[in-house]
Amino acid sequence: MSDALLDEFRKVVGAAGLVTDPQRTATYLSDWRGLFTGSALAVLRPASTHDVARVMEICTRANVAVVPQGGNTGLAAGATPVGLSRAIVLSLERMHGIRSLDAAGFTIAVDAGCVLAEVQRAAHDAQRLFPLSLAAEGSAQIGGLIATNAGGTAVLRYGSMRALVLGLEAVLPDGRILDGMRSLRKDNAGYDWKQLFIGSEGTLGVITGAVLRLFPRPRARATALVALACLDDAVALFGMVQEALGETLSACELFSERALALQCAHQPGLERPLAAHPWYLLIEAGSSLPGLREALESALATAMEHETIADAVLAETSTQRDALWRWREAITESERREGPSAKHDVSVAISDIPAFVSEASDAVEAAFPGTRVLAFGHLGDGNIHFNVLLAPGGNTASAQITAVVHHIVARFRGSITAEHGIGRYRRDDLVAHRSQVELALMRAIKSAVDPDGAMNPGALI
């Protein structure tokens, strides 16, 4: 990059906001899984929305592409500048303030670089709940979570990120600031442009702030880990606990014995919670009204009588609750330690989960000897992480495995990504799994908002 351009950037973001030292830029240039590595002229770390706007103006003028980056925990490599000759990474990490919290109105306004755990903490300190929860919450930022429309483990009750955003602030590629930091629950004044940015994966502009919904903090939680003989029983149990617990049910998370065994191998110190069974469901409900635990216990007792479940353990304390959750939340990290895998973040109708998993597992393990299916996820949302651990030296089969899995997903009229997004990892698959009309509409939106194609080239579309 020319010194003059560097100077221009430095004038805006200051010395602390401009990173060019290769040792420091390296962490911004690879994705969380280490599958993609790219290059950039520099990493820019602006400290305010106005600085983001000025950076964008310079980039437009100098024909420099912009790759926004949050906590870099994305699983679709959307924040990695791959194959771009003139690009910067724009990191929001210095914009991490809580702008305001309205406890009476149940809203919080934050900078986009705020880490999710910080938002949860601020809400908690104000006797409120910000419900979005996922294993990367110590690093993932609100801007990244909005840009990917993240899901996580409480979608069943509270919805994914889209359901939690009331207002948004974003900077357009040409540097204009869109100020929609409104806390309104109802607002029908024209097109709701913020919805375009939710799930846009950095391809339309830079999200710089958001107003988020808060909820009452449930005073009690009931958490159980249940062992099951088959997936049909898991779906049946989901129906039973939904009926018994109603809207208090917040999580219904699935994992297999293979996932549990993987944890035992890679997370020393975890004590096996139940004897081995093919499948497990982690069920949680929360409420401030009495009788929650009794309702869960009674639902599980009925399920036991009907032989829908094989075994169960209920958390007695918050430490036990955390220990049960660890079995679910550490799977991704254990999978990474185990070695390379082909990840599939699919959704199908909840009642189709047993047939989908059975058919896809049989197809993959028969066609690719030595592979091991690791299926887990958010059963209550119909979202299965149908990951396939590759056979040693089998990296080359990854794309073929994905083709087999996605073909079956299409037959079930499912989606090839329920929550992680398209990014660079699934870009070619999107074209095969959305109609010409849908793709044309997406391209029209992209070129209306980003006519020069400067925002995150190579991601999504």
206 belongs to the binding site for ligand FAD (CB under 6 A): yes
Instruction: Measure the CA–CA gap between 206 and 170, rounded to whole angstroms.
Output: 5
Q: How far is the CB of 385 from ligand 2HG (least distance, A)?
A: 4
Applying CB under 6 A, the span of 172-180, 294-302, 330-338, 407-415 interacting with ligand 2HG comes to: 330-338
Residue with Cβ nearer ligand 2HG (131 or 377): 377
Is 435 buried (19+), middle (13-18) or exposed (0-12) by CB count in 10 A? Answer: exposed
Residue with Cβ nearer ligand FAD (135 or 461): 135
Look at residue 131 and give the partner it binds from ligand FAD, ligand 2HG, none, a contact being a CB closer than 5 to 8 Å depending on partner kind.
none
Tell which positions 128-167 bind ligand 2HG, by CB under 6 A. Answer: 135
- Nearest C-alpha neighbor of 69 from the set 48, 93, 87, 47: 93
Instruction: Measure the CA–CA gap between 113 and 109, rounded to whole angstroms.
Output: 12
Instruction: Measure the CA–CA gap between 22 and 132, rounded to whole angstroms.
Output: 34
385 belongs to the binding site for ligand 2HG (CB under 6 A): yes
Residue with Cβ nearer ligand FAD (151 or 340): 151
Q: How far is the CB of 307 from ligand FAD (least distance, A)?
A: 31
Q: How many residues bind ligand FAD (CB under 6 A)?
A: 38
Applying CB under 6 A, the span of 5-13, 69-77, 210-218, 241-249 interacting with ligand FAD comes to: 69-77
Residue with Cβ nearer ligand 2HG (218 or 377): 377
387 belongs to the binding site for ligand 2HG (CB under 6 A): yes
Applying CB under 6 A, the span of 8-16, 71-79, 256-264, 389-397 interacting with ligand FAD comes to: 71-79
Tell which positions 399-458 bind ligand FAD, by CB under 6 A. Answer: 419-420, 423, 456
Residue with Cβ nearer ligand 2HG (135 or 231): 135
Applying CB under 6 A, the span of 142-150, 305-313, 360-368, 440-448 interacting with ligand FAD comes to: 142-150
Distance of CA 255 to the CA centre of its chain: 18
Type of residue found at 352: D
- HSE (CB half, 13 Å, CA atoms) of 268? 0
Look at residue 72 and give the partner it binds from ligand FAD, ligand 2HG, none, a contact being a CB closer than 5 to 8 Å depending on partner kind.
ligand FAD
Q: Which of 5, 9, 28, 32 binds ligand FAD (CB under 6 A)?
A: 32
* Alpha carbon distance, N-terminus to C-terminus of the chain: 27
Q: How far is the CB of 134 from ligand 2HG (least distance, A)?
A: 6
Q: How far is the CB of 335 from ligand 2HG (least distance, A)?
A: 6
143 belongs to the binding site for ligand FAD (CB under 6 A): yes
Q: How many residues bind ligand 2HG (CB under 6 A)?
A: 9
Q: How far is the CB of 181 from ligand FAD (least distance, A)?
A: 14
Tell which positions 361-380 bind ligand 2HG, by CB under 6 A. Answer: 377
Instruction: Measure the CA–CA gap between 412 and 409, rounded to whole angstroms.
Output: 5
79 belongs to the binding site for ligand FAD (CB under 6 A): yes
332 belongs to the binding site for ligand 2HG (CB under 6 A): yes
Q: How far is the CB of 292 from ligand 2HG (least distance, A)?
A: 24
Instruction: Measure the CA–CA gap between 365 and 389, rounded to whole angstroms.
Output: 10
Look at the alpha carbons of 155, 161, 162, 166 in this order and tell me if their dihedral is positive or negative.
Answer: positive
In the bound state, the residue with its beta carbon closest to ligand 2HG is 332
Instruction: Measure the CA–CA gap between 89 and 68, rounded to whole angstroms.
Output: 6
347 belongs to the binding site for ligand 2HG (CB under 6 A): no
- Cα–Cα distances in Å, from 454 out to 96, 144, 450? 25, 18, 7
Applying CB under 6 A, the span of 123-131, 137-145, 347-355, 446-454 interacting with ligand FAD comes to: 137-145
**Contacts to ligand FAD by CB under 6 A:** 32, 67-75, 78-79, 92, 112, 134-136, 140-141, 143-145, 147-148, 150-152, 201-202, 206-207, 332-333, 419-420, 423, 456, 459
**Contacts to ligand 2HG by CB under 6 A:** 75, 135, 331-332, 335, 343, 377, 385, 387
